[in-house]
Amino acid sequence: MKTCSSMSPENCKTNSTFSPAAKREIRYDFSPLWLERALAHPSLEMLTQAQQVSLRNASLAAAKHASLLSLTELKQNVGKFDPALFNTLDDKTYFALLDLLEAQQQADGLIKQEQVILDASRSSHAIELYRLFVQQALKKRQQRQPTAQRPLIAIVTASARDPFESAHFYLSVFEQSGAEVIWLPIDAALQKGIATGECKMLPLFRQQLQGNIDKKRLYPSETQRQHDYCDNPNTLYTLLEQMDGLFLNGGDQSLTLKAWLTPEGQPSDALTLVKQRFAQQQIIIGGTSAGTAVMTQHNMITGGTSEGALTFGTYAAKAPSERCELNNCDGEIPATAVTYRPEGGLGFFPFGILDTHFTERDRHLRLLTLAANTGESMAFGVDENTALLVDIEAQKLSVAGQQGVWVIEQVQQKTERSLRNQIKAVSHYLTAGSSLRIAKNGKKMAELTIAKTAIAPPSNSSKVTTPTEEHFAQWVNSACLHGEKSQVLLNQAKLTIKPILNNSCHLAQGAKGYESITLLLEIR
């Protein structure tokens, strides 16, 4: 959701201003003294002598111009001495170096925080969705306290490698949306600390399990809160009992999942409690990006692209590092191949696979391929600035926000004698006001209502588009114009799109929503 903040000013209306205490970007202290502190840390022992020399030379050169650098500036300075240095580091060393160099920014003796001005967001839909979540949480609170005016929203930011960095952002967003908000420092490190009783080891657990280091220096109050909850987990469970809504941030859904499991991979006491309250319809649960993908009950998607799906297929394995897409890492699994966890995620969404950033990142074929290869009969792709609203009891799904949700059903797969793998499905695109009801067996759609008034939003002339963006929508429109559209893709894969109903094309032309378009994907 495109939200106005001091670290994302591109999402703000013109003339939005922040106070001098606002954190505007992460900056790094690349002075020779601070670099030596970092190089002395055991987590950087894998750096070669040549790499250390390059870093020292770059630091001496940078110190002549500026004390604090952005990430881009840091890489540019180091690149003058060793252009390949950052790309050759493994994730552990790369992130340890950045964490150890990150500067604690202050103003008037206080630590700078990212500031949010929700009402100044250029997208009214982001504001709408945050407030819709708060309204739904308030209804839960009013079930117990009819006169309540504000719900209690709990925020968990474990999807981020550094869960402390975005805590203040979400606190501000939901406070400005009308809620009472608490941030819960639940992550894999806290779960291990609670399980072992070794709360003094939290910094090491964060490094081993969450992938961050040196956070006590940067976030003293937040890390202390995590330590307090570790020492007294009943305090945490009490807050989970009191909350009316739980919101999960974006990042890496695998990290979110680990935050709610024990070190042995079993549901933690915190997750068990949340699931009990969710089953009793006492709370609403929401998430953005990874926080959405982790909701699924089976076959949680963890990485990959549509191109990777067509080229390399799908793997039930841990996703390669996201940095591999840029650095061409050597590994057993190609960087762009689609990866997933068969056991699923947190299990709140039982109706199929969930995917996000959908149209924006052209993920139609990655989701279609994964659904077919895992035997899922339904899957859902949620666009940005858009929400899929799920009523589990009524098995009803509806859409709110700017764009839409792509739904595929009746997914089938077979291999022809020509050795071409055929995937067949029926697709629908639901925009704001559209809804569907899932059949009792939870495996197919029973009823669909498409909002006839949904029209495509005006284009944003300042937006930089990619050559592949919205190709799928163009293909659907072409199929409506000609009765069928066949498109040859990578590696001679072929996609055929054909409308089923008379009003499929009526909805697709002049309106963004459509229903009942058949898909046939043939992969050699």
DSSP for 388-456?
EEEETTTTEEEEEESSEEEEEEEEEEEE-TTS-EEEEEEEEEEETT-EEEE-TTSSSEEEEE--TT--P
Q: Do 57 and 82 sit in the same domain of this protein?
A: yes
Average pLDDT over residues 298-314: 94
How sure is the predictor about 511, in pLDDT bands with cuts at 50, 70 and 90? low
Q: Give the pLDDT score at 67.
A: 78
Containing structural domain, residue 68: 27-101
How far apart are alpha carbons 250 and 252 in whole angstroms? 7
Q: Give the pLDDT score at 470.
A: 53
- As given in the structure block, the two tokens for residue 253 are 């859904």
How far apart are alpha carbons 29 and 522 in whole angstroms? 52
Q: Do 209 and 273 sit in the same domain of this protein?
A: yes
What one-letter code names the amino acid at 452? K
Lookup result for tokens 């944003």: 460
Q: Do 148 and 217 sit in the same domain of this protein?
A: yes
Assess whether pLDDT exceeds 70 at residue 345: yes
Q: Do 222 and 93 sit in the same domain of this protein?
A: no
Q: Give the pLDDT score at 457.
A: 44
Assess whether pLDDT exceeds 60 at residue 69: yes
Whether 38 is in a domain gets the answer yes
* Least confident interval from 145-159, 234-248, 269-283, 486-500: 486-500
Whether 89 is in a domain gets the answer yes
Q: Do 223 and 123 sit in the same domain of this protein?
A: yes
How far apart are alpha carbons 446 and 33 in whole angstroms? 66
Assess whether pLDDT exceeds 50 at residue 479: yes
Q: Give the pLDDT score at 416.
A: 67
Average pLDDT over residues 61-76: 92
How far apart are alpha carbons 437 and 271 in whole angstroms? 27
Average pLDDT over residues 247-251: 96
Whether 301 is in a domain gets the answer no
Average pLDDT over residues 143-161: 97
Assess whether pLDDT exceeds 70 at residue 510: no
How sure is the predictor about 91, in pLDDT bands with cuts at 50, 70 and 90? very high
What one-letter code names the amino acid at 152? L
Whether 200 is in a domain gets the answer yes
pLDDT tens, position by position, 410-451: 999 987 666 678 999 999 999 999 999 999 988 889 999 988
Q: Is residue 22 helix, strand or coil?
A: strand
Q: Do 82 and 124 sit in the same domain of this protein?
A: no
Average pLDDT over residues 3-28: 96
Q: Is residue 346 helix, strand or coil?
A: coil
Q: Give the pLDDT score at 195.
A: 97
Q: Is 438 exposed, middle or buried (0-12, 13-18, 19+ CB in 10 A)?
A: buried
Q: Do 160 and 289 sit in the same domain of this protein?
A: yes
Q: Between 188-196 and 220-231, two packed helices, what is the crossing angle to 10 degrees? A: 40
Q: Give the pLDDT score at 503.
A: 85
Q: Is residue 509 helix, strand or coil?
A: coil
Q: Give the pLDDT score at 424.
A: 96
What one-letter code names the amino acid at 256? T
Task: Work out how many domains the chain is built from and give that number.
Answer: 3
Q: Do 215 and 279 sit in the same domain of this protein?
A: yes
Residues β-bridged to residue 412: 424
Domain boundary among 77, 101, 125: 101
Domain boundary among 236, 269, 294: 294
How sure is the predictor about 206, in pLDDT bands with cuts at 50, 70 and 90? very high
* Least confident interval from 189-198, 217-226, 505-514: 505-514
How sure is the predictor about 323, in pLDDT bands with cuts at 50, 70 and 90? confident
Whether 407 is in a domain gets the answer no
Whether 389 is in a domain gets the answer no
Q: Do the beta carbons of residue 333 and residue 315 sit within 8 Å? A: yes
Q: Do the beta carbons of residue 81 and residue 58 sit within 8 Å? A: yes
Whether 437 is in a domain gets the answer no
Q: Give the rounded percent of residues in the chain with a pLDDT score beyond 90.
A: 85
Q: Give the pLDDT score at 442.
A: 84
How far apart are alpha carbons 273 and 280 in whole angstroms? 11
Assess whether pLDDT exceeds 50 at residue 460: no
